[in-house]
Amino acid sequence: METKNNKHSKEIDVLGCILKIYNNKISLLIFVVSFAIIGVVYALNKEKTYTAEVLLAPEATSMGMSQSISDLAGLIGVSGGGGGSNSVDAIYPDIYPEVLSSTDFIVKLFDIQVRPLKGGTQKTYYNHILEDHKTPFYKAPIKWIMGLFPSEKDTTPTTNKVNPFNLSKKQDGVCNSIRGSIGCQVNKTTSVITISVTDVDPLIAAVMADTLQRRLQEYITLYRTRKARIGLQNAKKLNAEAKIIYTKARREYSNFSDANTDVILPSVQAKLEDLENEMQLKYNNYTATQQQVQQAEAKLQEDTPAFTIIQNASIPQKASSTPRSIIVLLFIFIGIIFDCFYVLFFKAN
């Protein structure tokens, strides 16, 4: 009998709790109205944000295929091998988000010129982040209090000289704000890359999304073609040097031949043959370097990655932020939860 009583005593009287909360309508009304007011104030001070997206897919290159084979071989404990230069790619799609969020990449976005959708002056993206985002009401007192205390002045108010290694406090704040507003997701199944930008202005969000996808393509292209570009540069240099040497040998042969046209001495003829053979060797070397230039250009074209734009950036028509009505309803729900705790655990019977 004693164990049964203990079990009954541990059970929660749900119906009794509901009746207790229902009987305290005044406290419920106070909590609901109070949190509703807080929710309305918070929702009105919260900025509407818009998100623009770009979808693109990189081409399936031999590097990607080689990497996939190596990964599959590693799963079964077999070395993938492949000592070729294209077998390992340091910049692969999985780390594209880290590339976009890097400080070196973000600071290059500071000087991009943007203009709000509803008019206004054209300004840099850096100044837009500083000037066009209103301070929430709950941060305004903190900002006012911080302004009362003297602080070190920012000696770099403009973005003409930005040193990623030593950012000012203001520049670092803008950098973090931009980092929080951009996103990059890679679908490992389809390899589709989604680049998104969230901003208080829909036009600026679309412009920056388009800019990010172009900057990312340029970054990946420069990385993938670095060796090929160096090879092409060296091939052109060797070709230019070979042309100068060949031109000099041809001129020397022509001058000697013109000067000794009627001379039939064996020594002169031997010298002429030597100059001709030397000129021919220089010409063969020149044509060989020309072929190397063509091969280097073909290699550069081969290594240049191609991206397919599945969806271009467009101006979003609807805000991506949480609707204000939903925010107010969430605050009302929180008020009901607080009232339940107050009535059940703190209010005297």
Of residues 104, 117, 208, the one with CA closest to residue 163: 104
- What does the radius of gyration of the chain's CA atoms come to, in whole angstroms? 36
pLDDT in tens, 305-338: 888 888 898 999 888 888 888 989 999 999 888 8
- If 0-12 CB within 10 Å is exposed, 13-18 middle and 19+ buried, where does residue 173 land? middle
Share of the chain above pLDDT 70, in %: 77
Of residues 85, 84, 89, the one with CA closest to residue 305: 89
pLDDT in tens, 194-205: 999 999 999 999
pLDDT confidence band for 91 (50 / 70 / 90): low
Question: Which residue in the block uniquely carries the two structure tokens 């066009």?
Answer: 132
Strand partners, 123: 114
Conformational region of residue 81, where left means phi above 0, alpha means psi within -120 to 50, and beta covers everything else: left
pLDDT tops 60 at residue 239: yes
The total of other beta-carbon atoms located within 10 Å of residue 182's CB is 20
- Is this model's pTM higher than 0.95 or not? no
Cα–Cα distance for residue pair 338/348, rounded to 1 Å: 16
pLDDT tops 90 at residue 210: yes
Question: Which residue in the block uniquely carries the two structure tokens 């031109």?
Answer: 247
Strand partners, 50: 199
What are the tokens at 139? Answer: 């941060």
pLDDT at 297: 92
pLDDT in tens, 42-68: 888 888 899 999 998 877 654 444 444
